[in-house]
């Protein structure tokens, strides 16, 4: 069987040059697979054609926007997915979907290898390769940037050598990954942690200090899923897109963090994810009203672990699936409306209503209608603290 390499193709210089390079290294053919995840920029048809121009024998473009929103972003909303309490897993949740489509293409087109353009010091190599081996360990993996120490300079030299029909744009100072769920930026000067981000880093968000008038909106959830904005029904994809637009206009969703990579190092990252952050803030507020205390406390631990598993490239791992089962079971009543004001970079929840609410006005009120039995409290407090009381007594006496 001749070699056929299925490549995760972005349309950029690196993966374009990788097409003839992989063909040369394997003595085989290359199939390019590109996903539209709402990353914007170039139209996907141009991307498709460029792969062919670079020598791919097949170039497959997949509109995966709704699939991404429903099967990857929505679970992240339900899990309030934030790595290190901050990062909404922008790249982390896109890789398993790309993996899925690469494996499908390999199985349909007789692929023998799968390939990605990631380096050996990032997280995405892990997400790709753990996914590849989970879904089809018979495919061989090639990561030219890592395994052949393939660099941009080498790529450009190789492109010139073989007269590859692509423009050699001046090296952008930014390394960017983006999709409808958010945008990640790395760049050299930010590697000094003391340097603040500059305005040219941002594309999804306006300057929060612009002074736009506040934007008030109502997000409706059913079973943890955003189903309407301001009363208009939306798909998950539409919800993200609309909130990217409205949140972006208010400068909402910027993030500047030092992140613990799975490979053991810390790195500085800039993210923009207005829709993701608004949806997760609203979802958490909806849960605060509809999820019982002990379940809520435990779910926060589960959410954190879910985020770590996904960050660490274990989307297809058995633990992730069981965490999903836990999370899904908590969402049945996460239903109702959250009112939010977006303004000058802030996401402010200021109202919530739900037919599934656990808030009981009559138990909570200090006014007329109070049904809370205060006489129960005395005994409750006494036994709630009893083991602490006994322990403190022992500590005093044992000294």
Q: Binding site for L-citrulline, residues?
A: 87, 123, 127, 175, 259, 271
* Nearest residue (CB) to its own copies, 56 versus 156: 156
Residue 52 makes contact with its own copies by CB under 8 A = no
Look up 14 and say whether it is catalytic: yes
Task: Show binding-site residues for ATP.
Answer: 8-16, 117
Pick one of 79, 196, 234, 245: the residue that binds its own copies (CB under 8 A).
196
Residue 326 makes contact with its own copies by CB under 8 A = yes
Look up 394 and say whether it is catalytic: no
Residue 70 makes contact with its own copies by CB under 8 A = no
Report the 3 state secondary structure along the chain.
Answer: CCCEEEEECCCCHHHHHHHHHHHHHHCCEEEEEEEECCCCCCCHHHHHHHHHHCCCCEEEEEECHHHHHHHHHHHHHHCCCCECCCECCCCCCHHHHHHHHHHHHHHHCCCCEEECCCCCCCCHHHHHHHHHHHHCCCCEEECHHHHCCCCHHHHHHHHHHCCCCCCCCCCCCEEEEEECCEEEEEEHHHHCCCCCCCHHHCCCCCCHHHCCCCEEEEEEEECCEEEEECCEECCHHHHHHHHHHHHHHCCCCEEEEEEECCCCCEEEEEEECHHHHHHHHHHHHHHHHHCCHHHHHHHHHHHHHHHHHHHCCCCCCHHHHHHHHHHHHHCCCCCEEEEEEEECCEEEEEEEECCCCCCCHHHHCCCCCCCCCCHHHHHHHHHHCHHHHHHHHHHHHHC
Look up 192 and say whether it is catalytic: no
Which residues inside 280-309 make contact with its own copies, applying CB under 8 A? 284-285, 288-289, 291-301, 304-305, 308-309
Residue 200 makes contact with its own copies by CB under 8 A = no
* Nearest residue (CB) to its own copies, 163 versus 211: 211
Residue 231 makes contact with its own copies by CB under 8 A = no
Residue 157 makes contact with its own copies by CB under 8 A = no
Shortest gap between Cβ of 61 and its own copies (angstroms)? 27
Which residues inside 175-194 make contact with its own copies, applying CB under 8 A? 175, 186, 188, 191-194
* Nearest residue (CB) to its own copies, 158 versus 326: 326
Residue 372 makes contact with its own copies by CB under 8 A = yes
Which residues inside 1-40 make contact with its own copies, applying CB under 8 A? none
Which residues inside 96-155 make contact with its own copies, applying CB under 8 A? 119-121, 125-126, 129-130, 133-135, 137, 143, 146-147, 149
Residue 395 makes contact with its own copies by CB under 8 A = yes
**Active site residues per annotation:** 14, 95, 124, 175
């Amino acid at each position: 069987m001749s070699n056929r390499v299925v490549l995760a193709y972005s349309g950029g210089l690196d993966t374009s040059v990788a097409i003839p390079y992989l063909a040369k290294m394997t003595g085989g053919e290359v199939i390019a697979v590109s996903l539209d995840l709402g990353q914007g920029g170039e139209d996907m048809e141009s991307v498709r054609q460029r792969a062919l121009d670079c020598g791919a024998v097949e170039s497959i473009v997949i509109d995966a926007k709704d699939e991404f929103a429903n099967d990857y972003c929505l679970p992240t909303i339900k899990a309030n997915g934030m790595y290190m309490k901050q990062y909404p897993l922008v790249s982390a949740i896109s890789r398993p979907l790309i993996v899925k489509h690469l494996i499908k293409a390999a199985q349909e087109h007789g692929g023998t290898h799968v390939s990605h353009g990631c380096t050996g010091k990032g997280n995405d190599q892990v997400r790709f390769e753990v996914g590849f081996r989970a879904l089809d360990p018979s495919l061989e993996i090639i990561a030219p940037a890592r395994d052949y120490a393939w660099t941009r300079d080498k790529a450009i030299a190789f492109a010139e050598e073989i007269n590859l029909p692509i423009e050699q744009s001046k090296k952008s100072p930014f390394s960017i990954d983006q999709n409808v769920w958010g945008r990640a930026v790395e760049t050299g000067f930010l590697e000094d942690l003391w340097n603040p981000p500059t305005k040219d880093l941002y594309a999804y968000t306006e300057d929060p200090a612009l002074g736009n008038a506040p934007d008030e909106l109502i997000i409706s959830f059913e079973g943890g899923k955003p189903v309407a904005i301001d009363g208009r029904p939306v798909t998950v994809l539409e919800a993200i897109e609309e909130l990217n637009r409205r949140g972006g206009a208010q400068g909402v969703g910027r993030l500047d963090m030092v992140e613990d990579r799975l490979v053991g190092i810390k790195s500085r990252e800039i993210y923009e994810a207005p829709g993701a952050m608004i949806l997760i803030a609203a979802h958490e507020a909806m849960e605060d009203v509809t999820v019982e205390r002990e379940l809520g406390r435990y779910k926060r631990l589960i959410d954190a672990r879910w985020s770590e598993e996904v960050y660490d490239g274990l989307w297809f791992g058995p633990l992730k699936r069981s965490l999903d089962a836990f999370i899904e079971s908590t969402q049945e009543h996460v239903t109702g409306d959250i009112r939010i004001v977006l303004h000058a970079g802030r996401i402010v929840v200021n109202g919530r209503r739900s037919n599934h609410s656990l808030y009981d006005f009559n138990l909570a009120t200090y006014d007329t209608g109070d049904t809370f039995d205060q006489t129960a409290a005395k005994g409750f407090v006494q036994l709630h603290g009893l083991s602490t009381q006994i322990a403190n007594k022992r500590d005093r006496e044992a000294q």
